[in-house]
């Protein structure tokens, strides 16, 4: 007999993290412009939601600078990274030292929202926030794409995250 709701217990966050590390995800760079400031964050909690309208979601930790930027700006861009962009992913995940301006040596342009779109990404979605949902220590931001397309690395192999390391998809 299945347990009742009163019999269910919460799971250990460390065990949860260990289980989720075994699920491979793509790696993206979320970017946002708020006034004159631009900001970026490596994100792998990203997925498509709907085709009509075109909606995606990204999960952002509430106590992060990125959360503040996206909340204030009301939009964000998702840049899908190739396996040649691991250093970019590490930089914006704060896994390696970053220059004072982490965008200084990256070629990028703006589309609909003004958020940085990496010229050499695989693809991008430029989104307006249409919903924000409280989810524990994160907020789920739902964005409607107002521009999308491919970068110079359109045919490249995507960068993956698996078991705490960056990986490449063998083809």
Query: CATH number, domain at 121?
Result: 2.30.110.10
- pLDDT at residue 55, as a whole number: 99
Q: What is the pLDDT of residues 16-32, one digit of tens each?
A: 999 888 998 999 999 99
Identify the domain containing residue 114 by its residue range.
26-159
Q: Report if residue 55 sits inside a domain.
A: yes
Q: Report if residue 3 sits inside a domain.
A: no
pTM for the full model? Answer: 0.91
- pLDDT at residue 6, as a whole number: 67
Q: Report if residue 59 sits inside a domain.
A: yes
Q: Report if residue 132 sits inside a domain.
A: yes
Residues 6+ apart with CB under 8 A from 55: 48, 49, 130, 142, 143, 144, 145
Residue 1 has pLDDT above 70, yes or no: no
Distance separating alpha carbons of residues 165 and 52, to the nearest angstrom: 34
Q: What is the pLDDT of residues 119-154, one digit of tens each?
A: 999 999 999 999 999 999 999 999 999 999 999 999
Q: Domains in the chain: how many in total?
A: 1
- pLDDT at residue 98, as a whole number: 76
């Amino acid at each position: 007999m299945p347990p009742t709701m009163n019999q269910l217990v919460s799971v250990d966050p460390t065990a949860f993290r260990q289980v989720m590390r075994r699920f491979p995800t793509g790696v993206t760079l979320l970017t946002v412009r708020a006034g004159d400031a631009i900001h970026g964050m490596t994100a792998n909690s990203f997925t498509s939601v709907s085709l009509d309208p075109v909606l995606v979601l990204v999960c952002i930790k509430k106590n992060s600078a990125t959360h503040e930027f996206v909340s204030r700006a009301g939009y964000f861009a998702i840049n899908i990274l190739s396996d040649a962009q691991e250093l970019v992913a590490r930089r914006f995940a704060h896994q390696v030292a970053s220059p004072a301006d982490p965008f200084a040596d990256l070629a990028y342009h703006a589309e609909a929202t003004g958020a940085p779109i990496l010229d050499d990404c695989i693809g991008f979605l430029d989104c307006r926030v249409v919903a924000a949902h409280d989810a524990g220590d994160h907020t789920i931001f739902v964005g409607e794409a107002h521009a999308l397309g491919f970068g110079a690395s359109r045919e490249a192999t995507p960068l993956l995250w698996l078991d705490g390391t960056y990986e490449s998809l063998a083809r």
